[in-house]
Each structure stands twice: as C-alpha cells, then as structure tokens.
Amino acid sequence: MADVMSEQITAVKALLHDVFHGMRYQIGFLFGQHTGITPSQLAVLQVIAGHTKEPPTFTAVVRELNLAPSTVSGIVKRLERDGLVKRLQEPADLRVSRLQLTGRAAQLLGTLCKVYDYCIDQNFKVFTQDELESFVELLAKLKMAIELADLANLDDIVARKGSRIEELENC
C-alpha cells in the first residue's frame, strides 16, 4: 500500500511540475509576444506591484527575487528606459532608492491578468463540470494542507536527503 501511495505521489509531483512550468511558459510567451516584456522583467514588475503600502526599496526587490544586485540593476535600468519603473530617492538617505511602477506598467500588468485568464480558460476546457467541481475541492484541500504545513524541520529533511545541488534540482 505504501509503495502505491509513493508511486502516486511521485506521479503527482511530476505532473504538478509539468503543469506549473507549462502554464508559466504559455503565459510568459503570450504576454511577451503582446508586450515585449521578458520573464525577468515581469518578475521585477510583479514584486514591485506586490508592495501596496509603499514602493519597495531596490534591496527589497533583490532579496525577494533572490538574484544578484547587478542582475536586478540591469533589469531595472531597462524597465526605467522603457518607462515602466521610476526610481525614487529616499529623502532621509540618498543611498536608498525605491522602485515605483508607472501608469504604463500598471496597464501592462492588467494585460497580464487578461492573458492569465485566457490561458486558464483554454486549458480548462478539457474538463467537464463534475471534473472541475472535484478539481476545485482537491485544490482547496491541498491549499489547506500547504497553509497548515509545519516546515520547522525543513533543514533536517534537506540534510537527510543530502544537500547536493544536483539532488535538490531533481525534486
């Protein structure tokens, strides 16, 4: 019984991986085709848009994306050049800059929502009403499990599996 469950979980992991990457590719491809925005630029725009109280600092964007400052700097320079992002100097400390979306960037992100909806609609046409209802129930259950997950022992799990990067990439 445990082997069957293990095989099913392995199959689910592979399918989730393929579905996630496939949909991300579809959305990124269609969005890029219509806007000229690269996936890296989109990631930066989404991080900035996620900060609703005040524009994030450059350092906060770097931290959230887990990228080198030089990489993010190049992306931000291109976004500034294209009129999608503005740098705002922090009056109290001129070494600190905040990144703010322009109106044009907000419009592009609205286009992203339309592209996302289009991809979802197209991909989910293959399901019957009953299948969709079951799918929603299963996703809700998975979402709850994710929210309740105890990740306190994650370091122990990684240590047991081995921390070599090749092994982690195959997860």
**Domains of the chain with bracketed CATH:** 2-126 (1.10.10.10), 127-171 (no CATH)
Q: Express each pLDDT in 28-61 by its tens digit.
A: 888 888 888 888 999 999 999 999 999 999 999 9
* Burial class (CB within 10 angstroms; exposed 0-12, middle 13-18, buried 19+) of 6: exposed
Distance CA 110, CA 141 (A): 29
Torsion of CA 143, 145, 150, 155, to 10 degrees: -70
Q: Express each pLDDT in 77-117 by its tens digit.
A: 999 999 999 999 988 888 889 999 999 999 988 888 888 89
